[in-house]
Amino acid sequence: MAVTTEGAARASAGDVVKAYVALTKPRIIELLLVTTLPAMFLAAGGLPPLIPALATLFGGWMAAASANVFNCILDADIDEVMRRTRRRPMPRHQVGTVPATVFGVVLGVLSALILGFGANWLSAALAVLANAFYVFVYTMWLKRRTWQNIIWGGIAGCFPPLIGWTAVTNSVAWAPVIMFAIIFLWTPPHTWALSFRYKDDYAAAGVPMLPVVRSARQVAVQILVYTVLTVAVSLLLWPVTPTGPLYPIVAALAGAVMIWEAAQLLRRASAGLEGAALKAMRLFHWSNSYLAVLFLAIAVDPLIFGR
């Protein structure tokens, strides 16, 4: 694919490859895959079939990469303003809009074909729906219009457990729906904690993230409410599946830590602390660990106890 700017034209092949890889936001994709594979283990009651598992992981990676590429294209103006994102390929003009669009389309089509032929067409359809929701509902509609952007826009990131489950069973059940709900409720506190750090950037870019339009205490209250709901819903997976004893123990202990951290954030916000003193990034990092540990328990539990 041609790179349209003079600087990119002089770039080495390695630089061009790095730019295209950066468009896919690999670190975000890692988190999505962490919630896909455990759902497959749970659906299979142990190790899932190899070919559908590989097709789902690879196809899911390409689906998420496609959505992220379109997000980079559509948010180029925002990314150019924000410190956290101004070094992405689009603001730096390392990749042109047309080749980036072609790249995103190719990734999306290939992901659907890989999922469809390697797993099943229900999983492929869910991946296409998730992409469409992320691009058209979140990026193009909600993100710049309402502080509830991440609540409803975050739905796109909830699809991986559904895709993983259906790749094994070719059907939907309550277990993946609960995993969907866990991620849905987890996403706002996770994102709002990060948004505290980049509040000024979001304000400059005209993006009404909750910390931009509400006080720190009001945001912290919302974070605590969503955290409690996340933990409560996570515990529903035990009687619904049911799992062995490992999962509910991990869910309860990890959930208690998350609630404690959210409560401490509210305490600091209520005391009038702001900026670095608020320590919102502490909760952000804990939320990453919480989700990873929770879904690791979902994967390991059926290996030990069956389903």
- Domain ends where: 170, 194, 222? 170
Token duo for residue 213: 């339009």
Predicted pLDDT of residue 45: 92
Q: Which residues contact 260 (CB under 8 A, 6 or more apart)?
A: none
With residues binned 3-state (H G I as helix, E B as strand, rest as coil), the percentages for the chain, rounded to 5, are: 80, 0, 20
CB distance 190 to 294 below 8 Å: no
Give yes or no: residues 49 and 183 share one domain. no
Predicted pLDDT of residue 183: 97
- Domain ends where: 104, 135, 170? 170
Give yes or no: residues 228 and 245 share one domain. yes
* Spatial distance between the Cα atoms of 184 and 54, rounded to a whole number of angstroms: 25
Predicted pLDDT of residue 27: 81
Q: Which residues contact 83 (CB under 8 A, 6 or more apart)?
A: 198, 201
Give yes or no: residues 20 and 164 share one domain. yes
Give yes or no: residues 193 and 145 share one domain. no
Predicted pLDDT of residue 86: 87
Predicted pLDDT of residue 274: 87
Task: For residue 7, tell me if it sits in a domain.
Answer: no
Residue 102, CA distances (Å) to 61, 76, 105, 155, 196 in order: 17, 16, 5, 25, 35
* Spatial distance between the Cα atoms of 19 and 10, rounded to a whole number of angstroms: 13
Residue 33's CATH number? 1.10.357.140
Task: For residue 1, tell me if it sits in a domain.
Answer: no
In the chain, the number of structural domains is 2
Strands, DSSP E only, in 122-274? Answer: none
Q: Which residue has the tokens 């190790």?
A: 47
Residue 222's CATH number? 1.20.120
Domain, as residue range, for 81 = 15-170
Task: For residue 6, tell me if it sits in a domain.
Answer: no
Give yes or no: residues 193 and 163 share one domain. no
* Nearest C-alpha neighbor of 157 from the set 31, 251, 71: 31
Give yes or no: residues 156 and 286 share one domain. no
| Low-confidence residues of the chain: pLDDT under 70 | 1-11, 307
Q: Each residue of 47-80: b (16+ CB within 10 Å) or e? A: ebeeebbebbbbbbbbbbbbbbbbbbbbbbebbe
Give yes or no: residues 177 and 164 share one domain. no
